[in-house]
Amino acid sequence: MIKGLLIAICLVYTISLISFTSHFSKSYEHTNKLENINKDLEEETNISHILFGIPGSTKMWNNRSRYSSLGWRPNITRGLVWLDKKPHKDVTWPENSLPYRVSLDTSKFKNTCWFGDRSVVRIARIVKESFELGLSNVRWFVMGDDDTVFFTENLVTVLSKYDHNQMYYIGRNSESVEANVMCSYNMAYGGGSTAISYPLAMELVKILDDCINRYHYVFDYDLMISNCMAEIGVPLTKELGFHQ
């Protein structure tokens, strides 16, 4: 009798497990179908999905602006040059230049690198200040130096290969062996530009200020960003076209 009871219990448990597994499988399959439908309906990545962030110096921008202006298309390309201070009222802003914003004060941050410059803190925070603008429909934050030339059509083609809903840190290490040894082979060099997907930027801005203070001895902003990416656990995705 006891044996029969145990068999009955096992049978009921097995039927319940099969029923649950079948329900879970159908639910998972339904969710996957919905995700695939959403991806199919989603617009392909284009230039409007990219927000550029370029560091600039008020003193030098009039001469340096010609580099980023080569890829700038007014009312199509989106981006800002982040200046160290507001231009003098008598200065005429270059007609084909990106619009500007003045970076927030960074004097509260530690910076102990004796051979570096405090501007690395301001520049490292550009991705955070860009994110906090809250602009709509941004999939990628692309940072570069003030003398980086962007071939925007090529950039869109490359970024379109990646799922912008995932966390990506895209760029390239240096062509210089010495620079790679000094910094890292897994660091995106700012001169070749860096692309950060929206979900990764969302995580980065949460830790960036504390991260900058932790690496107060670092001499370059792209190394600061690389260290912060390592803390999040996202490695560099290397694209050879991001070269300096």
Residue 194 CB neighbour total at 10 angstroms: 26
Residues of the chain with pLDDT under 70: 1-41, 174-185
Q: In this structure, are 118 and 227 located in the same domain?
A: yes
What pLDDT score does 18 carry? 47
What pLDDT score does 22 carry? 53
Q: Which residues contact 89 (CB under 8 A, 6 or more apart)?
A: none
Question: What is the distance of C-alpha 149 from the center of its chain?
Answer: 18
Q: Which residues contact 209 (CB under 8 A, 6 or more apart)?
A: 109, 125, 128
What pLDDT score does 41 carry? 62
Query: Measured between alpha carbons, how far is 194 from 235 in angstroms, rounded to an integer?
Result: 13
In this prediction the pTM is 0.81
* Phi-psi category of residue 26: left, alpha or beta, with phi > 0 → left and psi -120 to 50 → alpha: alpha
Q: In this structure, are 67 and 167 located in the same domain?
A: yes
Q: Which domain holds residue 29?
A: 1-42
Q: How many CA atoms lie within 13 A of 46 on its CB side?
A: 6
Q: In this structure, are 12 and 81 located in the same domain?
A: no
Domain contains 79: yes
Query: Measured between alpha carbons, how far is 193 from 54 in angstroms, rounded to an integer?
Result: 10
What pLDDT score does 113 carry? 87
- How many domains, in total, are found in the chain? 2
Q: In this structure, are 102 and 78 located in the same domain?
A: yes
Question: What is the distance of C-alpha 36 from the center of its chain?
Answer: 24
What pLDDT score does 77 carry? 94
Q: In this structure, are 68 and 152 located in the same domain?
A: yes
What pLDDT score does 64 carry? 87
Domain contains 244: no
